[in-house]
């Protein structure tokens, strides 16, 4: 499929003269302190530009034997500085899972938005010890790979690896394990979070969460993010632009 030319999205309510952080030197020559200072700068730049955001999120839970248990499609709308609203478009499978798992996830996301606690904003030297361990390509991105070790055992923190785009200083992928289980019934939570570049913004594309539940075994939760609209301007789809990683 031919690549769609990206369109520049202007935020009517965002700062007028702010530009993306520019690359001044290869990441290979940066210390972890310098690298994450640029990553945090980039994250704040994107937060300042996005005043409205919408997407279609598909939640799916499967058993370890590839048996689909439930699925739900949700329309999400975000309005700065911290309001997420969700509307269920369709659903099938176990009503129990849809109510107690998917709705719990949605409520947690709403709470994080109101508290301005974007999970990516927690990825900083305040919460982690970082070590640069190499370089690797992920899709179209040349990335610096960083090991992240949490300084505390908290549900919102993880131990694992982060892939950072060397040009944009944006997170392309995270793979890790939560440092603290969210429930006594759950032995561990492993996850992979992948991002896509749409126009000038790096946005979530897919999350896969493997949960080992006591007595029940492994379950796989997948969340797909599609049909993004930024600041009420429809963006090029990731599948068309070739920016899915």
What average pLDDT score do residues 20-49 get? Answer: 80
Whether the predicted pLDDT of 114 surpasses 60: yes
Measured between alpha carbons, how far is 174 from 168 in angstroms, rounded to an integer? Answer: 16
Give the per-residue pLDDT at 176.
95
- Cα 189 to chain centroid, rounded: 16
Beta strands 128-138; 186-198: pairing state: unpaired
Q: Which of 9-23, 51-65, 203-217 has the lowest mean pLDDT?
A: 9-23
157: which residues sit within 8 A by CB, 6+ positions away?
A: 122, 127, 128, 150, 151, 178, 179, 180
In angstroms, the CA 148 to CA 128 distance is 6
* Closest C-alpha among 166, 150, 225 to residue 193: 225
pLDDT band at residue 9 under the 50/70/90 scheme: very low
pLDDT at 193 over 90: yes
Domain spans of the chain, in order of start = 27-226
36: tokens are 């994450």
The CATH code for residues 27-226 is: 2.50.20
For the segment 152-170, the average pLDDT, to the nearest whole number, is: 94
- Kindly state the tokens that stand for 126: 């305040």
Percent of the chain past pLDDT 70, that is, above it, reads: 76
pLDDT digits (tens, 9 = 90+) for 41-84: 999 999 899 999 999 999 998 886 667 889 999 999 988 877 78
Q: Stretch 131-147: mean pLDDT, rounded?
A: 95
pLDDT at 221 exceeding the cut of 80: yes
The dihedral through the CA atoms of 208, 209, 212, 216 has a sign that is negative
What pLDDT was estimated at residue 104?
Answer: 83
Cα gap 192→147, rounded to integer Å: 14
Q: What is the pLDDT of residue 75?
A: 95
Instruction: Measure the N-to-C terminal CA separation of the chain; round to a whole number of Å.
Output: 16
Beta bridge partners, 57, equal: 74, 225
**Position with higher pLDDT, 228 vs 242:** 228
């Amino acid at each position: 499929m031919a690549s769609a030319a990206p369109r520049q999205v202007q935020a009517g309510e965002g700062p007028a003269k702010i530009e993306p952080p520019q690359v001044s030197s290869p990441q290979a020559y940066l210390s972890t302190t310098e690298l994450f200072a640029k990553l945090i700068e980039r994250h704040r730049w994107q937060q300042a530009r996005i005043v409205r955001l919408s997407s279609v999120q598909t939640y799916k839970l499967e058993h370890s034997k590839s048996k689909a248990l439930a699925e739900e499609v949700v329309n999400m709308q975000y309005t700065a500085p911290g309001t997420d609203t969700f509307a269920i478009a369709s659903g099938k499978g176990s009503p129990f899972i849809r109510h107690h798992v998917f709705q719990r996830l949605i409520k947690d996301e709403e709470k994080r938005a109101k508290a301005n606690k974007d999970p990516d904003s927690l990825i900083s030297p305040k919460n982690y010890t970082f070590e640069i361990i190499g370089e690797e390509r992920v899709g179209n991105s040349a990335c610096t790979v960083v090991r992240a070790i949490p300084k505390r055992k908290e549900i919102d923190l993880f131990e694992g690896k982060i892939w950072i785009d060397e040009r944009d200083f944006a997170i392309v992928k995270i793979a890790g394990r939560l440092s603290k289980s969210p429930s006594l019934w759950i032995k561990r939570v492993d996850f992979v979070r992948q991002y896509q570049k749409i126009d000038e913004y790096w946005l979530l594309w897919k999350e896969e969460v493997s949960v080992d539940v006591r007595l029940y075994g492994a379950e796989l939760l997948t969340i797909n993010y599609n049909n993004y609209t930024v600041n009420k301007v429809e963006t090029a789809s990731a599948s068309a632009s070739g920016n899915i990683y």
